[in-house]
Amino acid sequence: MSKKYKAIFFDWDGTAVMSRQAPVEEAVAAMKPLLASGVKLVIVSGTTYDKIASGKIHEHFTPEEASNLYLGLGRGAYNYKMVNGQPEIFADCIPDTEGLLKIHDVCYKIHRELLEKYNFKTDVVFSRPNYCKIDLQVENERGDQLFMQEDEMSQLKAMLEEHGLENGIMDLVSLSEKVGEEFGLKVSATCDAKYLEVGISCKSDNVDTI
CATH number of the CATH domain containing 17: 3.40.50.1000
128 and 57 in one domain? no
* Domain boundary, last residue among 41, 63, 92: 92
136 and 106 in one domain? yes
> Would the pLDDT of 40 be above 60?
yes
**% the chain with pLDDT above 70:** 94
- pLDDT band for position 16 (cuts 50, 70, 90): very high
> Would the pLDDT of 43 be above 80?
yes
State which residues form the domain around 47. 7-92
105 and 17 in one domain? no
Say if residues 40 and 70 touch (Cβ distance below 8 Å): yes
pLDDT for residue 160:
96
pLDDT for residue 152:
81
127 and 42 in one domain? no
| Domain assignment present for 63 | yes
pLDDT tens digits for range 104-153: 999 999 999 999 999 999 999 999 999 999 999 998 665 544 444 557 88
Number of domains in the chain: 2
pLDDT tens digits for range 156-207: 999 999 999 999 999 999 999 999 999 999 999 999 889 999 999 999 999 9
pLDDT for residue 19:
82
* Domain boundary, last residue among 92, 111, 144: 92
Q: What is the mean pLDDT of the chain?
A: 93
Q: CA distances (Å), 140 to each of 91, 112, 152, 187, in order?
A: 35, 20, 9, 26
125 and 192 in one domain? yes
The HSE-up count of residue 61 (CA atoms within 13 Å, CB side) is: 31
pTM listed for this prediction: 0.87
| Domain assignment present for 1 | no
Angstrom distance (rounded) from CA 143 to CA 31:
27
104 and 188 in one domain? yes
Residue 124 pairs in a beta bridge with 134
- The CATH code of the domain that includes 189 is 3.30.1240
179 and 79 in one domain? no
- pLDDT band for position 98 (cuts 50, 70, 90): very high
* Domain boundary, last residue among 63, 92, 121: 92
112 and 75 in one domain? no
3-state helix vs strand vs coil in the chain, percent to 5 = 40, 20, 40
